[in-house]
Structure 1
């Protein structure tokens, strides 16, 4: 009777208040910070720290306040962030098996579905990565070696720059197309002309998706996917762009299926189709058309975006530091001259150029937040406990700018990679490709491309800013960190 009487006295507003308090208590209990979990800023009920910036500069400030291992909450999901060379090395190298897995990222899961090379886990990931690692190196246009393919593409790229006849132009998609042609020749057995409108559209769609995916509004989708999938926003553009990209790649697969000769594999797709036949009795390995599509997307993006963006940063830095550009050209003239193309055999004899390329990668800071990982088991890092299944982000920018590792971390300084005798100096804190079992699959290819493209361009051209349009050294934060759009002048030497 007493409860019935109380029930009759509470009005609608009272019930709303009661419901809110109940939900608040449930949220507090559900999201109570685990014992000895890394510290972090106070989370707002229901939404967590979604108003905290997602860029590497904000993360640096949080690391200064809470230490090199700290946490944030997005919606009801907690994530741990790791900052500074010492702690990142501890996580990726010293605890090699602790952070191997990938978490489910709803923004990307819609497209990548936890299969392929980048976002998969467990047995499927091991099989797909091993297959990619084994077969990527064996294919190129006309069965040429990868080095030869890059040299040939360097000629096309230099010819495209010459066609500008010293006029101001934006090199963005010419460079991106050139770089992408290397992985395209491996995957598809052919390159794409710079005038190919359909491939140019493919590159533009991918660039826009990568740029938007790093925005705070798009990453809200990871916190509230059930709600936001029904609402407009940048996540819808990301998903729509990837849908068109997948349609482009499906056509390449279908063409290969029609022409496939199991006795004469021409490229990665052909050899993958053969593996699908051989692995029919092992469905857990994931060798099927759906996984092939995602693998191609993984490899196209991994083989295009970071290297092309690094080369764009290279041009920005060379224009901002013309004296360094001249020193690189002097070394090129001394070692290679003008009568032949650069080769990888030249690199040991060109320590200054090698140091400049490494400094471009360091200060360019292409993937500042790394790629999210997940604790594969209960782990202790530093003095904190990280439960199995917790999403973990290694802040690579904090390694590349670590004040304890670099003499002038915020300044473009090739001396970071030179010893007192002017010889190239390897640095352990140089981790643009990450480290450990999830280290970038295309690191070897990227290093070749950066050296051969960069030296070829500076062998043939001097790069100057358009008067009054010096390219900015401040980048644009997307999923990668890229230069602002710029125009330049390429003067033949």
Structure 2
């Protein structure tokens, strides 16, 4: 198919487009015939409306993707399929089915499908990688992150430094209103940058700020380019309508930046003992073999993008909830004031004295749920789930939101209630259905670092400031790469504390 599509480049635009449409129509009809044969094996149900070539794509374009997936779930059940271009996608909902797939049958359901961005990564990194190489890279990242999290003073020192900067930047506003996105991006990108790259990095430099900007652009451009994974011929359309060329250019720029950091790290020399950051862990000899630089670069980029985007989006939702529920904000402040002397930055060691703060973070992760469908998965072999046949290579969407918003799992799930995670003894508990970081082999490796960032930044913020928001219009969310709130502005009011 790819060979045929490449020949289209040599045609004029009109002829090329006609050729593509006819070819894909024939291809789609062949696929329909295949699916008709497979129906004897009971494929999951699908919406009755579809169009030649694009399949069910128009359904996904009508409204926000998450809303569409949940509407189809109501119609078709906890497992259903969508035909998009030449790709079969199966959407899995409910804790029962997700557990069956990603825990009981993890070896079958834990691969990633082939994507346009995977081509750029050249079988490197950790997020889109599969097989033994992925397992090795994941073990390396987990080992280094556990080192950071088991020695909390290392991570907390990095976070505290950025909290000071964050609070100074808020103070400089003088009580004016501001879109908090850039404030949060500056702070969290600096934390993630130090964890990933270490002390060779000047997080205040324009060079680093450009790297962060390019990374954010990669994330949002990739979200627009995802259609190419299902309709690959669209990449040959003029004017880069689906940002394929843009993604390639940005990927090259971010790669060159990390390469420069590797060169600087080697010039400084690697420290003895445990590595102080993820990059150095990779650069040290592993089993007597020097790390593959392309693998180092892509893994750093993967973890940087994932850690920055999700944490910033979650903190933005935190500000929405603080301003929408002033009684919750007041209760947080009361608990923090009781647990910490004025002017004392919080530590994870203080978590036990602040159960409501911890419960707030958990409810924030559940209710905001910035990764409601996670990343795409793929099955490695023919399999069945809940009596339905799923062919090898099928793309899988895990509907995590279906678990976190299920009234059977969480009473009144659309209400924001931190106290749902506090038991009768006043202690925090974690239900097994609390899976904002998912579970199984693709469980988020940065969970502990993300939780630490959220806990310390939020505690420091409510300790020093009361947050308000102009207007009464609700802040709505939309699914891009993450489920993020629409733009809004807040005002930070300095609290006068005795001490």
Aligned to 2:212: 203
Aligned to 1:234: 242
Query: Partner of 1:179: helix, strand, or coil?
Result: helix
Aligned to 2:477: 475
1:266-281 equivalences under 5 Å are 267-275=277-285, 278-279=288-289
Question: Which stretch of structure 1 is more off in the superposition, 296-305 or 30-39?
Answer: 30-39
Q: 1:485 aligns with which of 484, 487, 493?
A: 487
Aligned to 1:372: 376
Question: Which stretch of structure 1 is more off in the superposition, 479-488 or 242-251?
Answer: 242-251
Aligned to 1:319: 323
1:416-455 equivalences under 5 Å are 416-455=420-459
Q: 2:347 aligns with which of 322, 343, 346?
A: 343
Aligned to 2:121: 112
Cα offset for 1:277? 8.2
RMSD: 2.7
Distance verdict in 2 for CA 1:402–1:238, change over 3 Å: farther
Larger Rg belongs to: 1
The number of residue pairs the alignment matches comes to 465
Question: Which stretch of structure 1 is more off in the superposition, 319-328 or 96-105?
Answer: 96-105
Q: 2:192 aligns with which of 146, 163, 183?
A: 183
Unpaired runs of 5+ in structure 1? 1-15, 281-286
Aligned to 1:3: none
Cα offset for 1:372? 1.0
Tell me if structure 2 keeps the 8 A contact 1:182–1:191: no
Aligned to 2:262: 253
Are positions 1:56 and 2:58 aligned together? no
Aligned to 1:9: none
Aligned to 2:411: 407
Are positions 1:40 and 2:46 aligned together? yes
Question: Which stretch of structure 1 is more off in the superposition, 221-230 or 406-415?
Answer: 221-230
Are positions 1:92 and 2:116 aligned together? no
TM-score (norm 2): 0.86
Aligned to 2:461: 457
Tell me if structure 2 keeps the 8 A contact 1:276–1:288: no
The CA deviation string for residues 287-332 of structure 1, in whole angstroms up to 9 with x for no partner, is 4111111001011112211112111110111011111100000010
TM-score (norm 1): 0.87
1:50-199 equivalences under 5 Å are 50-53=57-60, 55-106=65-116, 108-138=117-147, 145-190=154-199, 196-199=205-208
**2: distance between equivalents of 1:370 and 1:351?**
28
Distance verdict in 2 for CA 1:31–1:113, change over 3 Å: farther
**1: distance between equivalents of 2:139 and 2:313?**
27
Tell me if structure 2 keeps the 8 A contact 1:184–1:191: no
Query: Partner of 2:228: helix, strand, or coil?
Result: helix
Unpaired runs of 5+ in structure 2? 1-18
Query: Partner of 2:461: helix, strand, or coil?
Result: helix
Distance verdict in 2 for CA 1:20–1:199, change over 3 Å: closer
Tell me if structure 1 keeps the 8 A contact 2:25–2:53: no
Are positions 1:300 and 2:309 aligned together? no
Tell me if structure 2 keeps the 8 A contact 1:72–1:79: yes
